[in-house]
Structure 1
Amino acid sequence: MASASDLQEQGLAFYSKHEQYLLSPQSSLSLIVHEPFNFPSWLVAGIIQQSLSNDNECYLSPQSPNRHKSASPTFLYSFSDTEVTYSKYFHKYITKNRNMFTFKSFLSEDSISLDSWNKLIHGQLKKSALSSGSPPVVILENPELLLSIVPEMTVCKLLSQIMAIQQESALYIVTSSSILGAPQFLPALIHRSSLLVSLTPLTTGRADDISGILSISPGPVHSNDKLKDSFSIADRQYSYLVTTNAVKLYFK
């Protein structure tokens, strides 16, 4: 494989007819699966930035066209991290319409509070619907942890709660490829998704000029016929490099 220095930097896109575009249709499930040690906080920040912008801005797509769009209320709910995980990306890139962004960490909540996690989200989505004409974007980070924390939580119950949130938003779920204790959960999510994004390390380990491989492929669920053509999945691979000051992507 050629080194990054030999390749031309590319803008990231999830959809083939929407170059430099990361935003999924409403009521769809987009799944971002990563290995335990290559957490995609940089990718989540890019999705949030584009969701909040009015002109398709995204730092992962530096040549992004200034296509007018409405900013969307955007929610990031984490069961594994605090906002510190994203602080450098938020500080640098999440500057527009910050009042439309909500971050909530459930990391310090006890099992009793977590039992009603979905009710809190539904309440915030309902409130945003009353104050904004734009449909919301929701990102759930590691919801599978609820299976080991909340008494009587089952895979079926958690999936039902997730699907209810999906009906009210463009939903992204960020999860690890190795889900301990509930191996059936990830296949169930994949079965319900329309977009699959996976991040894997190099088979030879990390190189100085490549951090890993990002793959994009369609999930089993297709958008309805009206949206199918305009939201066809790009189905491609990128090599990516994450450094202290930048993230760069190259076609593989």
Structure 2
Amino acid sequence: MTASLEVLSVEKKIEDFLLGPINLTLEAGTVTALVGNNGAGKSTLLKTIMQLARQDMGEIIVFGSNTNQDDESWKKQIAYQPQTLMGCDSFTGNELKVLFSKWYPNWDDNWFGNMVDTFEIPMNKKYGKLSQGNQQKLLASLTLSKNAQLLILDEPTAHMDIVSKRKYTDFLIEWMEREEKTIFISTHQMEDIRKLADYLIFINRGQMAGKFEKDKLAQQYKRFWLAEDLPPVSIPGEIERKGLRTVTTHLPIEAEAYFLKAGINWHAEEYIGLEEAVTYLLK
């Protein structure tokens, strides 16, 4: 598989916050969710990838081009959606469309019109006068219509209502099916993760805390209900015990072997599922 994005030993210090070193690779045609608590460094990482904040160390490679150069033509291969559009409050939606479409050679006018109609965005209204939800819908429409190969999204549905979030997810799925596109999405929305992501990258206090294949992660954590009290020592992979007879582990095979060897019986077991697994990893 060809890499759409490579982040190589990247570090960025902002006041007393240190991001990195970050190492990650996004393969073409995949969707990767960037997950972390507030203040973990997700937005800082995305801004650094876009060179809105220059890294102090390391390299960022986009489709084979090093971003730390005077030539910024690589940006035309990326559609970046920040949490808010700065410096554009005085522009109407129609004026923003003209500005954005001139910069991106693969701009899709029909796609833009479809999203605007679906979201019922008032295009003659100035961006700064729109509600936060409509601002985000307009920004999402502008971003997807760039029709770039790599999509970088920073909390793209944070201010959308439930119905609009579902419509947006449908647009993303359709957009992915057009050709081999790549998405890197920072999100707190489990619906986004569940429906879209192939991989999850966790970030904690500026450090990468792991990369997981979504489908495997959902099968990695298991809860056991024992027929007798748990031993006082931790079992393999133990991450939580409730009461005396319920335990959760991220090493279920090793835990089962431990129970069998120790003669400990259990009467029920189940995989805890994706949402709870994500919650454990964010603790």
Q: Name the TM tier (shorter chain).
A: 0.3 to 0.5
Q: Which has the larger radius of gyration?
A: 2
Q: TM-score by structure 1 length?
A: 0.44
Larger proportion of strand: 2
Q: TM-score by structure 2 length?
A: 0.40
Q: Which has the higher contact order (CA 8 A, sep 6+)?
A: 1
